[in-house]
């Protein structure tokens, strides 16, 4: 049953093959079995899940069920969920019971989905390996000594290990696409502003975007349908109609112009990875698509720019964690300064503190122009590169990561080498474009991903292109042996 | 050496919206602590700001009132610092591109001297909460009801040269924000607050001296005292060979002293950057035109109209339009009473005097415009004299009823019966033969004495003009 | 641009973090490496480029001025570390 897609499970529920309570219990049992090995979740909400499932069953019985009614889901622990612990994988929020829900989780709940729990992640979404979590590293279900990627590592591992049919994540610099690639699942990061950020704990506000982990593009279309849309509580949310993402899945890709950025095939890319990408492109050529070489000349600037913009925003966003109104507070502060410094130093992990420090530095007097303004100018150039490219092609394809999943602990002591592994994903966030990672093969039994980058608000086209690939391949149907 | 002081003001005025600048929580004053602080005001994780339309409109109104440029595309920035009354660890403000640009206003000193003061900018920002220093087991209590209240910070150029000018400027801004209805201007409740940048330099010198920023100047009286105190302090230091340190100083009204606020100094690298949660505030020309249509009459225009329409002297018109409430009061009375000058005298004299004495503003006046109109009508139709009217005014003030009721009850109607008055005058002439003789010998000034006697005899109810006429006729015919 | 330990102290003060003496060297090295990575930006001439703060060229939407929030003090203060009489408590603030 766990190998079924959301679409198949939804059919099964509607036809009465099983109830949502049964389905929910089934996945809870899987969680209880594999959680000790994988550490993919921070919180399991068994009790409320079964209650929600019961309600879903009534809805199904009454015939009012939608595509998502009664389907279990796991949320990245960055989304506030009312009455349920929301930690952002930080000691800082270990005791934080959110008094409100994020728009994302609220919308999915309203659609009848059943929340099984909250997924592990890198602390405050800062990391590419899920090793910075206060709750410990998540293991890659394909090989337990490998990282699942990050920051949405728990969400990716959970879907890969079929602890839930689907999950949510957030992507600030690749935090959905990279773990999706490393865990062999389908990961969608929509256009900035397509999904509300309200109630999603901010890392870097101008880059953060919620998205999905699923086993297929078809499933992603169904989830996105409910998650996307204008939210008056988010000033950066876009008031634009949400198209029917499922309706265009079967459109033909004949005549599709695929852009191939030469900068994404640099010496840093594992040649075996390049080979897999070539094979995927061949599949598209067979379906009638053409490949066009394109130039994204400022690609090499995306990591430097990102490591100015993201820490700057994060240093300010994380100032609210001060031990006064909620969250961790140090024992017996001797004065106000001590309260701030000890609460924050004890409550935040090393990577978070490192980024706060970098951000405070680059924004400080005398450095602001050289770092922050400079980065914003380059951000425009990076964005212009894509604009140019999309005047010639319909979609851009390339790798998601330079290699498959690395070993746990391998890059922990060298932040910069960890940062460099995000080279192919970061520019998309800087430009605010939609990106998708789909399984496109295995290297030494570890999954790898093909990245699809679309023009603004062309999630529908991306899902269509991915779906067509998934009609002729079965990489996305492979599951790890646990 | 002769010194010149240079003063610039930063005025924070709370905008009279219903809800906060970035959240839907109420800004009503005086609620129980933290009952008007929603998750956005509290800086909870994941919540986001959305800008209040009314706050923007109010800022534009102010810009129009001071002939300022309205920035077509202004930016909200974060000012980063840690303080318990600042929940997010940053204040959302405007830095490089404020909504209101350069403007100018004319101030008028009490001696009638006028001066132009340049306004550098005015920007929208959120207010902070309040720290309550009463002892909670050695702790400070934080109330965040005020956090997120919309503020317009109005920054002047260092154009003022004395504490008096600073006060006149502050009063002018206060008058404007109340005229255009963007703030209640209530200084006790902190709706209108002021910081002053003060420096001194030898007279004739171009370069500015080192300035100190005075905080907590929350009344017109304090601002004058505090600035004068600071000017003296700075001159003393320089004259005794010292140097002024650039710093923030807090004015303590009780001790009448300013003291350095080192706590605010240690980390003032605010790391401003554009708030990524808010997009550029775009104001179209049409929006500005719409608001222009809705602009109320401004103080100067009202003054000129009062002079023109009611034939008032400039000074009277200036006083009557000094506050919007007094001007409105005047116009309301004017619809019922004909004599514009009479109304002006009563508003500037009796009414303002009584209000000042009782520390009330026009809105709190126990005598309404309608009540005063009824009283003044009785002066106009000669039912009572001006002198009696003052007594009646007092009775109305004390809540004893309306003018007509009081005149009736206390029998204050003027005696206009000529026969009765003549009889009274005859008696007075008969009883004051010495004064009659002096009058006949050319001391005609004594006419006033006789009128006074007659007024006394009539208990003030005689019509003074009528009495004057009768007495003069009788004395001259003797 | 290179860092020294007084920079680290200054930034830590701004960010309200304690950086222990024994961690100073780590921070110096790691932050130094990050800044070195970031310095690559200086190789591109951006004189005529306008800074980009948001990925999309939107403009701020305005909210109608209405009170939509109710008093939720009890709920909010249930998760607060220290409160009394409806106030959040902090060590004495000296002005």
**Upstream peptide bond of B280 is cis (omega within 30 degrees of 0):** no
Q: What is the pLDDT of residue B471?
A: 86
> CA of B144: which chain A residue's CA is closest?
A325
> pLDDT, tens digit, for every residue of A317-327?
999 999 999 99
Residue C70, both tokens: 């109710």
pTM (two decimals): 0.92
Cα separation, A159 vs A310, in Å, equals: 27
pLDDT of A350-359, one tens digit each?
Answer: 999 999 999 9
Say yes or no: A204 contacts chain C, CB-CB below 8 A.
Answer: no
- Measured CA to CA, the distance from residue B317 to residue A335 in angstroms comes to 57
Contact across the interface for C52 and A379, Cβ inside 8 Å: yes
- Rounded Cα distance between B77 and A384, Å, is 25
Q: Please, which residues bridge with residue A79 across strands?
A: A200
Question: Tens digit of pLDDT for each residue in A405-416?
Answer: 999 999 988 888
Contact B142 C90 (CB under 8 A): yes
pLDDT averaged over chain B? 92
B315-370, pLDDT tens digit by residue? 999 999 999 999 999 999 999 999 999 999 999 999 999 999 999 989 999 999 99
B233-288 pLDDT, tens digit per residue, is: 999 999 999 999 988 998 888 888 888 886 555 557 999 999 999 999 999 999 99
Q: Note the pLDDT tens digit of each residue in B31-48.
A: 999 999 999 999 999 999
* Average pLDDT, integer, range A30-55: 98
Looking at residue C1, what is its pLDDT? 55
Q: Are B214 and B258 in contact (CB under 8 A)?
A: yes
End-to-end CA distance of chain C: 36
Q: How high is the mean pLDDT of chain A?
A: 97
Asked if B60 is an interface residue toward chain C (Cβ–Cβ < 8 A), one would say: no
Interchain proximity A329–C82, CB inside 8 Å: yes
Hey, how many other C-beta atoms are within 10 angstroms of the C-beta on A377?
20
So what's the pLDDT on residue B263?
52
- Tell me, rounded to whole angstroms, the distance of Cα B124 from its chain centroid: 22
DSSP annotation string for B435-452: HHHHHHTT-GGGHHHHHH
Q: Which residues of A are catalytic?
A: 76, 151, 175
Residue A300 pLDDT level (bands cut at 50, 70, 90) = very high
CATH fold of B418-476:
Arc Repressor Mutant, subunit A (1.10.10)
Per DSSP, what are the bridge partners of residue A251?
Answer: none
Confidence of residue B434 (pLDDT cuts 50, 70, 90): confident
pLDDT score for B446: 83
Q: Beta strands B103-108 and B90-93: pairing type?
A: unpaired
Per-residue pLDDT reduced to its tens digit, A107-153: 999 999 999 999 999 999 999 999 999 999 999 999 999 999 999 99
CB-nearest partner of B24 from C54, C67, C95 = C67
* Domain residue spans of chain B: 3-288, 297-409, 418-476
* Whole-number pLDDT of residue B36: 98
Q: What would the mean pLDDT of A48-72 be, rounded to a whole number?
A: 96
Stretch 231-290 of chain B: residues touching chain C, C-beta under 8 Å? 250, 261, 263-264, 266-267, 269, 271, 274, 276, 278-282
Per the CB < 8 A criterion, the answer to whether A181 and A158 are in contact is no
Most confident of A456-460, B184-188, B388-392, C53-57: A456-460
Q: How confident is the model at residue A442 (pLDDT cuts 50, 70, 90)?
A: very high
Q: Which chains, if any, share at least 3 CB pairs under 8 A with chain B?
A: A, C
Q: Which domains does chain A have, with CATH numbers?
A: 1-482 (3.90.1300.10)
Q: Can you give the pLDDT at residue B221?
A: 87
Tokens 């150039």 belong to which residue? A381
Bridge partners of A115, per DSSP, are: A73
């Amino acid at each position: 049953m766990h190998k079924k897609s959301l679409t198949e499970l939804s059919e099964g529920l509607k036809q009465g093959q099983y109830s949502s309570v049964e389905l929910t219990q089934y996945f809870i049992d899987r969680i209880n079995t594999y959680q000790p090995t994988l550490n993919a979740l921070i919180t399991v909400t068994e009790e409320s899940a079964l209650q929600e499932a019961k309600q879903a069953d009534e809805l199904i019985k009454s015939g009012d069920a939608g595509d998502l009614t009664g389907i279990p889901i796991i949320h990245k622990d960055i989304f506030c969920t009312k009455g349920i612990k929301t930690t952002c994988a930080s000691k800082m929020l270990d005791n934080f019971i959110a008094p409100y829900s994020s728009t994302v989780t609220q919308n999915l709940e309203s659609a009848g989905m059943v929340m099984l729990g909250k997924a592990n992640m890198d602390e405050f979404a800062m990391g590419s390996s899920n090793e910075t979590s206060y709750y410990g590293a998540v293991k890659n279900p394909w090989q337990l000594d490998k990282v699942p990627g990050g920051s949405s590592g728990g969400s990716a591992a959970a879907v890969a290990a079929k602890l839930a049919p689907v999950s949510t994540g957030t992507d600030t610099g690749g935090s959905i696409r990279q773990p999706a690639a490393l865990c062999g699942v389908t990961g969608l990061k929509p256009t900035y502003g397509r999904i509300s950020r309200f109630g999603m704990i901010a890392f870097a506000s101008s880059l953060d975007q919620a998205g999905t982990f699923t086993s297929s593009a078809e499933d992603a279309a169904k989830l996105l349908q409910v998650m996307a849309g204008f939210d008056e509580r988010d000033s950066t949310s876009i008031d634009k109609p949400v198209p029917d993402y499922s309706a265009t899945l079967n459109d033909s890709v004949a005549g599709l112009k695929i852009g191939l950025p030469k900068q994404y095939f640099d010496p840093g890319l594992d040649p075996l990875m390049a080979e897999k990408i070539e094979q995927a492109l061949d599949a598209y050529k067979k379906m009638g698509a053409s490949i066009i070489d394109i130039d994204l000349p400022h690609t090499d600037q995306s990591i430097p720019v990102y490591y100015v913009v993201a820490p700057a925003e994060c240093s300010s966003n994380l100032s609210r964690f001060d031990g006064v109104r909620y969250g961790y507070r140090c024992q017996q502060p001797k004065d106000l300064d001590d309260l701030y410094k000890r609460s924050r130093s004890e409550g935040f992990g090393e990577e978070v503190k490192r980024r706060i420090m970098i951000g405070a530095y680059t924004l400080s007097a005398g450095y602001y122009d050289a770092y922050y303004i400079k980065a914003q100018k380059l951000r425009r150039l990076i964005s212009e590169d894509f604009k140019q490219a999309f005047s010639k092609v319909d979609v851009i394809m390339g790798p998601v990561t330079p290699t498959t999943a690395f070993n746990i602990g391998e890059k922990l002591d060298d932040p910069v080498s960890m940062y460099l592994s995000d080279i192919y994903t970061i520019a998309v966030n800087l430009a605010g474009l939609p990106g998708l990672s789909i399984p496109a093969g295995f290297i030494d039994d570890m999954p790898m991903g093909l990245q699809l980058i679309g023009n603004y608000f062309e999630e529908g086209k991306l899902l269509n292109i991915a779906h067509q690939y998934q009609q002729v391949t079965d990489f996305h149907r492979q599951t790890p042996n646990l | 050496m002769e010194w010149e002081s240079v003063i610039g003001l930063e005025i924070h005025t709370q905008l009279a919206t219903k809800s906060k600048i970035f959240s839907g929580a109420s800004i009503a004053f005086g609620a129980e602590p933290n009952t008007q602080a929603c998750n956005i005001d509290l800086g909870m994780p994941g919540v986001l700001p959305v800008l209040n339309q009314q706050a923007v409109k109010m800022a534009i109104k102010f810009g129009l009132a001071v002939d300022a440029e309205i920035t077509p595309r202004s930016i909200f920035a974060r000012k980063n610092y840690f303080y318990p009354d600042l929940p997010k660890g940053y204040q959302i403000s405007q830095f490089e591109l404020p909504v209101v640009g350069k403007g100018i206003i004319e101030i008028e000193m009490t001696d009638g001297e006028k001066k132009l003061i340049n306004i550098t900018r005015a920007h929208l920002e959120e207010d902070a909460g309040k720290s309550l220093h009463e002892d909670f087991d050695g702790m400070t209590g934080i109330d965040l009801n005020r956090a997120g209240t919309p503020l317009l910070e109005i920054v002047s150029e260092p154009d003022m040269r004395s504490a008096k000018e600073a006060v006149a400027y502050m009063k002018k801004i206060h008058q404007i924000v109340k005229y255009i209805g963007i703030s209640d201007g209530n200084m006790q409740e902190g709706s209108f607050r002021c910081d002053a940048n003060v420096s001194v330099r030898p007279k004739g010198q171009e370069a500015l001296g080192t300035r100190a920023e005075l905080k907590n100047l929350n009344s017109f009286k304090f601002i004058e005292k505090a600035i004068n105190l600071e000017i003296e302090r700075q001159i003393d230091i320089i004259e005794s060979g010292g140097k002024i340190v650039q710093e923030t100083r807090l004015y303590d009204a009780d001790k009448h002293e300013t003291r350095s606020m080192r706590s605010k100094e240690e980390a003032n690298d605010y790391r401003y950057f554009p708030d990524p949660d808010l997009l550029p505030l775009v104001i179209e020309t049409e929006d500005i035109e719409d608001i222009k249509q809705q602009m109320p009459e401004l103080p100067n225009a009202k003054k000129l109209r009062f002079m023109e329409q009611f034939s008032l002297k400039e000074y009277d018109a200036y006083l009557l339009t000094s506050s919007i409430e007094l001007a409105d009061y005047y116009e309301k009375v004017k619809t019922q009473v004909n004599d514009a000058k009479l109304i002006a005298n009563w508003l500037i004299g009796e009414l303002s005097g009584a209000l000042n004495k009782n520390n009330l503003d026009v809105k709190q006046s126990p005598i309404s415009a309608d009540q005063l109109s009824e009283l003044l009508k009785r002066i106009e139709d000669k039912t009572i004299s001006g002198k009696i009217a003052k007594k009646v005014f007092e009775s109305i003030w004390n809540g004893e009823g309306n003018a007509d009721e009081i005149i009736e009850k206390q029998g204050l109607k003027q005696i206009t019966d000529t026969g009765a008055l003549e009889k009274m005058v005859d008696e007075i002439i008969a009883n004051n033969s010495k004064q009659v003789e002096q009058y006949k010998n050319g001391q005609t000034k004594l006419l006033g004495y006789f009128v006074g006697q007659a007024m006394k005899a009539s208990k003030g109810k005689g019509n003074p003009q009528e009495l004057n006429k009768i007495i003069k006729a009788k004395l001259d015919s003797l | 641009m290179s860092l020294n330990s007084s920079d680290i102290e200054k930034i830590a003060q701004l960010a309200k973090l304690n950086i222990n003496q024994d961690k100073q060297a780590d921070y110096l090295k790691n932050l130094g490496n990050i800044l070195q990575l970031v310095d690559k930006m200086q190789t591109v001439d951006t004189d005529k480029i306008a800074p980009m703060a948001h990925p999309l060229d939107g403009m701020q939407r305005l909210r109608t001025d209405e009170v939509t929030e109710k008093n939720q003090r009890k709920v909010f203060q249930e998760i607060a570390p220290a409160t009394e009489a409806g106030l959040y408590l902090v060590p004495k603030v000296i002005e």
